[in-house]
Amino acid sequence: MSPLTPLLAARGAGRRFGQRMALEPVEVEVWDGEALALVGPNGAGKSTLLALLAGALEPSVGGVERRKGIRVGWAPQRPAQYGRLSARENLELFARLEGEADPEQAAARLLEAFDLPGEASPSGNLSVGNRQRLNLAISLLGDPEVLLLDEPTAALDPQQRRRLWDRCAVLREAGGAVVFATQNLDEIERNAERVAALREGRLVFTGTVDEYDRSETDTLFA
């Protein structure tokens, strides 16, 4: 990996939905081993920024740069999976689409890692927590170097939260990076190094967690 370029960067990337500018052009860089927390009130543009970084949305202005060969995993806020397929079938389908060499084995590994039911019942019948676990498991297919997580722990129990952050820590130790949106100050303190704060579609703060703590911006959002 080249240390001269960020793993992932938004270069003046912004997004318009109809007449509304959901995200004004922003500059954000994600570097090796980093954990970046996105904070801001509802509708601030966090999910839009994550979707732009993931490539799920095309920016209306600017662009998104990815270091060559980098794989990105994305878990949107609302689980993104097929409700009539089981957890295993969802994982196998997305494993094939991600180009996993052994889709069945990859699905079995993640089912076990996230303690998901392996039976054939549709994932639409799973509990909210299990659906979120499946959502996160799908984002890990293809062994991504960068994880983009949109409020990932909202529906998880404490044990699953701990497992998730442990997994993120392992990824960062291996040179990867995590970008996550959250409303939880404790998660920022424990799991982030830098913070990017958004408000009404504008990036109003970027800095370390300490700088964020000292700034007045935190009182506006968190």
Partner 1 sequence: MSRIALLLRKDALVLWRSPFLLGILLAYPAAIAVLVGLVASYASSKPRVALVDEDGLPPTVEIAGKRFHVDRTIDQVSKNVKLVRLSPEAADHQLRTGKVVAVVTVPPGFIATLKGMVQSPRLEVELSRGTISSRVDQQVQALVYSLNRQLQRAYIGNNLRYVTLILHGGNGSFLGRPFNVLGLERAEKVLQGMPRSPDVEQLQGFIHDARLALANTGAALRATAHPIEYVRAPTRGRTWVLSAEVQAYALGLTITFLALMLAAGSLAAERDENVIGRLARGLVGLGHLVWAKVALAAGVALVLGVAIALAFGVIIEIGGVTGGEPWHRLPLLVVGLLLAGGALGALGALLGALAREARSASLVAVLVVLPIVFLGLIPSEVVPPAGWVSAGLPFAHAVSFFSSALYDLSPWGEVLRQGLWLVGLGLVFVGLARLAARRLLA
* Between 34 and 150, CB nearer to partner 1: 150
Among 33, 41, 122, 207, binds partner 1 (CB under 8 A): 122
**Which amino acid, one-letter code, is at 204?**
V
* Between 17 and 211, CB nearer to partner 1: 17
* Between 93 and 185, CB nearer to partner 1: 93
d(CA 139, CA 109): 13
Residue 152 as a binder of partner 1 (CB under 8 A): the answer is no
d(CA 203, CA 101): 40
Residue 144 as a binder of partner 1 (CB under 8 A): the answer is no
d(CA 166, CA 187): 13
**What is the number of other CB atoms lying within 10 angstroms of the CB of residue 30?**
25
Select the span of 38-46, 95-103, 167-175, 199-207 touching partner 1 (CB under 8 A).
Answer: 95-103
Q: Please state whether 65 falls in left (phi above 0), alpha (psi between -120 and 50) or beta.
A: beta
By CB under 8 A, the residues from 20 to 59 that bind partner 1 are 51, 54-58
d(CA 121, CA 124): 8
Dihedrals phi, psi of 14, to nearest 5 degrees: -140, 165
As given in the structure block, the two tokens for residue 189 are: 């303190």
How many residues touch partner 1 under the rule CB under 8 A: the total is 27
Residue 220 as a binder of partner 1 (CB under 8 A): the answer is no
Residue 79 as a binder of partner 1 (CB under 8 A): the answer is yes
Q: Which residues sit at the interface with partner 1, rule CB under 8 A?
A: 17-18, 51, 54-58, 72, 74, 76, 78-85, 89, 93-94, 96-98, 122, 138
